[in-house]
Amino acid sequence: MNETPEWLTGLATSTTPVPMGLRPPAEGGRPAAVLALFGEGPLGPDVLLIQRSSNGRNHAGQPAFPGGGLEPQDAGPIEAALRESAEETGLDPTGVTVVGTMPELYVWRSNYRVTPVLGWWHTPCVVHAASPDEVASVERVPIAELVDPANRLKLRHPSGFAGPAFRVRGLLVWGFTAGVLDGLLTAGGFALPWDTSRVEDLPPDVVSMAAR
């Protein structure tokens, strides 16, 4: 059995402040959940990410954690995160130990109040784009590649805001997902010094898909 590592259980008990731009409003917003699923891969600890379909309704074409809105049958964010992950990637939830949840975050573009669920993949299974209309591809991304300074940058949105991003395995991870990853990697003790002055404009094709 693949035991849950101490750094991940530490993340579940740490108190991470919610950035001002991600704080949920007092009212409104649809409850949602994503699964930040970590495991031990061939190249060390890794995290499961999906590339959303360019035809999707929300956040088209963006890399993301698997997840989505809560449905009436869901008992809460944990059940929703596991259900959505199974639907999107073919994940077997019995192979996952849920370690805990993070504070609720708000994604204004889709009006979602998102609860990140932390999971340890103690018994990995084969995953794939199980819902092609929503997911283009699935990737286990090694943490060592995410924290490699050569793969880190900031992306500037046309609004002027510049946030953390990762260019890894053909994926350009930015926005909400990159912000959560940045916080988790730092809190987990994995982050390495990188050139925070490396700022690039968000590619026009990414902007156009994100605006749908």
Contact status, residue 200 vs residue 155, Cβ threshold 8 Å: yes
Q: Is 196 among the domain residues?
A: yes
For position 199, what pLDDT does the model report? Answer: 97
Query: 76-129, pLDDT tens digit by residue?
Result: 999 999 999 999 999 999 999 999 999 899 988 889 999 999 999 999 999 999
Is 1 within a domain? Answer: no
Element (H, E) at 137: strand 135-142
Instruction: Please compute the mean of the pLDDT values over residues 135-147 and round it to a whole number.
Output: 97
User: Does a structural domain hold residue 178?
Assistant: yes
Going by pLDDT thresholds of 50, 70 and 90, the confidence category of residue 148 is very high
Q: What is the mean pLDDT of residues 5-16?
A: 85
pLDDT at position 54: 78
pLDDT at position 77 = 97
- Tell me if 122 is assigned to some domain: yes
pLDDT at 140 over 60: yes
Which of 206, 191, 137, 209 is closest to 169 using CA atoms? 137
206 or 35: which carries more pLDDT confidence?
35
Which pLDDT value is given to residue 114? 95
pTM given for the model: 0.92
> Is 117 within a domain?
yes
* pLDDT tens track for 11-57: 888 766 666 567 788 788 999 999 999 999 999 999 999 999 877 55
Phi, psi for residue 116 in degrees, rounded to 5? -75, 130
Class of residue 95 by CB neighbours under 10 A (exposed 0-12, middle 13-18, buried 19+): middle
72 is in which domain, residue-wise? 6-210
Residue 39 domain flag = yes
CA distance 82 to 78: 6
pLDDT of 59 strictly over 80: no
Angle at 175 between CA 172 and CA 179, to 5 degrees: 105
At residue 206, the pLDDT reads 81
User: Could you tell me the CATH number of the domain that includes residue 109?
Assistant: 3.90.79.10
Count up the domains in the chain and report the number: 1
